[in-house]
């Protein structure tokens, strides 16, 4: 019989026995190295945060979806931004044409943030924002809005993704070169450690690395290497690892191979604890790998899309059994369009069924002690350490990205996976096996191009009523901080409060730092 392997190439034996665990660890949940979870009682104490990633069209439309999701039991918001917002262009910029409001909400100014969170007290909700190159600007908008609400910034909680290294490696929504981008990130670390202590200043993302085609092993190896680079950059700026280390979080993908995914999450926690300890952390909370999970967008099929509900359910179980702190579940129709309200509701209900009906959260690390899962956790960890050693030998993640090593490795894995599907070696139900001749159409969700006109009119009105001289002075202050090395965050918050736009702030830094090509 031909051997079976996971997608990472790890051979799966027919049977696992105690002999496969010669040194079974006696580890307790909530204690170093956190293989079994970051809390002693895990979900018996508090369920994971159920989020739904949402954002489309205008701030007004997204606000309606947020209120709907909150009414359906969502515990935290997760904001998707459109492409111009992600790469630092206002909606009326020529390069924004055709993209405004399409893959997320368009945010140009503090006015849009006011509208986006209308009727939502920021002290009462945890907000995750999937934003990277312009994360510092969106965080500034959020802080300014919280201040306008009279919120105590010490109580504001949430996350910005703020992970620029994976943009160079796998996703592409970068603006500035790597070194100034890393400087912006450390500015955020330093400012938040004093002013916004409950905020997760980065969500180091394996999700997009996996979406680009990596294996599970590559996902955690490349992600943890990026995390190590961020920590080293912060240490080089004199920041305290026991302070900023507590506000680092991670963002992983959940795919369909249930046991490999669970092993991946367990191995990642153990590895990060060791990395942080070796970098000088002494506080156990600074060694904890806390992570958000999103079910795998690239696993969803346009063919027989209702099958995606089963896929998302498997991936939800993988995340929960692997010990996630936060979870977004994809809509079954997302291979066809933005999720409809019905698809978003079913995705949320999937989490709620697992939480309240499956029994999966009732005990800590339910698969601990499984000969198979423990062995697979060790195998995933071993393979990931080998990759990290390669990256370290090249000088770390930034050097490995500059040399194309990480990009090429992901591309090879994506090619091998697709070749397996085309050859029939890898079965995707409804795609290359168990197909149907005719499918019933699934209603889609479309965004109208007129949104750009509406946003442009808002911008025109904003520029007409604001104090232009005050905006110019605030932008020059940002330029000065970018040039002399001062922390950018106070200057950017001041500028957004004076109604400088996202594009104007990004352009000032383009003029100082240049653009990465």
Residue with tokens 């191009």: 449
Tens of pLDDT, residues 400-445:
999 999 999 999 999 999 999 999 999 999 999 999 998 888 877 7
Domains and CATH numbers, the chain: 4-449 (3.20.20.240)
Phi then psi dihedrals of residue 130, to 5 deg: -85, 85
Given a contact cutoff of 8 angstroms between Cβ atoms, the answer to whether 221 and 391 are in contact is yes
Left if phi > 0, otherwise alpha if psi is -120 to 50, otherwise beta: which for 37? left
Which residues are bridge partners to 128 per DSSP? 78, 159
3-state secondary structure of 346: helix
362-366 CB contacts, 8 Å cutoff, 24+ apart: 362/43, 362/44, 363/44, 364/29, 364/36, 364/37, 364/40, 364/41, 364/42, 364/43, 364/44, 365/29, 365/35, 365/36, 365/37, 365/42, 365/266, 365/323, 366/321
Q: Please tell me the distance from the alpha carbon of residue 83 to that of residue 431, in angstroms, as a whole number.
A: 30
Strands annotated E in 240-308: 248-254, 291-295
Both tokens of 171, joined, read 């996703």
Residue 338's pLDDT is 81
Which residues are bridge partners to 158 per DSSP? 127, 199
Residue 282's pLDDT is 98
Tens of pLDDT, residues 284-324:
999 999 999 999 999 999 999 999 999 999 999 999 999 99
Say if pTM beats, i.e. exceeds, 0.85: yes
Low-confidence ranges of the chain (pLDDT < 50): none
Which residues are bridge partners to 200 per DSSP? 159
Residue 201's pLDDT is 94
């Amino acid at each position: 019989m031909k051997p079976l392997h996971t997608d990472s190439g790890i051979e799966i034996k027919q049977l696992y026995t105690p002999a496969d665990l010669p040194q079974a660890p006696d580890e307790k949940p909530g204690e170093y190295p956190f293989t079994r979870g970051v809390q002693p009682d895990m979900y018996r104490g508090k369920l994971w945060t159920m989020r739904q990633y949402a954002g489309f069209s205008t701030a007004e439309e997204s606000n309606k979806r947020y209120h709907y999701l909150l009414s359906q039991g969502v515990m935290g918001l997760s904001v998707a931004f459109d492409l111009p917002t992600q790469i630092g262009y206002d909606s009326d910029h020529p390069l924004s044409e055709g993209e405004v409001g399409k893959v997320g909400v368009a945010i140009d100014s503090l006015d849009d943030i006011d509208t986006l969170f209308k009727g939502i007290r920021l002290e009462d909700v945890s907000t995750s924002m999937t934003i990277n190159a312009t994360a510092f600007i969106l965080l500034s908008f959020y802080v300014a809005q919280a201040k306008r609400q009279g919120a105590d910034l010490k109580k504001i909680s949430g996350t910005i993704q703020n992970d620029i290294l994976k943009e160079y490696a796998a996703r592409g929504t970068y603006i500035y070169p790597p070194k100034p981008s890393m400087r912006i990130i450390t500015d955020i670390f330093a400012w938040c450690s004093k002013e916004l202590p409950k905020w997760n200043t980065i969500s180091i993302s394996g999700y997009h690395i996996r979406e680009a085609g990596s294996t599970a092993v590559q996902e955690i190896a490349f992600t943890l290497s990026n995390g190590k680079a961020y920590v080293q950059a912060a240490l080089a700026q004199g920041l305290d690892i026991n302070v900023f280390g507590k506000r680092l979080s991670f963002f992983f993908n959940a795919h369909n191979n249930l046991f490999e995914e669970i092993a991946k999450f367990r191995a990642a926690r153990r590895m990060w604890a060791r990395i942080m300890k070796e970098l000088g952390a002494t506080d156990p909370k600074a060694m904890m790998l806390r992570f958000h999970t999103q079910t795998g967008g690239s696993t969803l099929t346009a063919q027989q899309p209702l099958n995606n509900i089963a896929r998302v359910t498997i991936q939800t179980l993988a995340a929960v059994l692997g010990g996630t702190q936060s979870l977004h579940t994809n809509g079954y129709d997302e291979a066809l369009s933005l999720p409809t309200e019905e698809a978003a509701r079913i995705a949320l209900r999937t989490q709620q069924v697992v939480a309240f009906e499956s029994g999966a959260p009732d005990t800590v690390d339910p698969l601990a002690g499984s000969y198979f899962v423990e062995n697979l956790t060790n195998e995933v960890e071993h393979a990931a350490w080998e990759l990290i050693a390669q990256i370290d030998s090249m000088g770390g993640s930034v050097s490995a990205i500059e040399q194309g090593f990480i990009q090429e490795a992901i591309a090879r894995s994506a090619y091998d996976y697709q070749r397996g599907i085309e050859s029939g070696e890898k079965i995707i139900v409804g795609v290359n096996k168990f197909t149907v001749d005719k499918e019933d159409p699934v209603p889609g969700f479309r965004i109208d191009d007129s949104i750009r006109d509406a946003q442009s009119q808002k911008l025109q009105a904003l520029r007409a009523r604001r104090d232009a001289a005050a905006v110019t002075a605030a932008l020059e202050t940002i330029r000065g901080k970018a040039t002399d090395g001062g922390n950018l965050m106070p200057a950017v918050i001041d500028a957004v409060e004076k109604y400088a736009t996202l594009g104007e702030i990004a352009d000032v830094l383009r003029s100082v730092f240049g653009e990465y090509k």
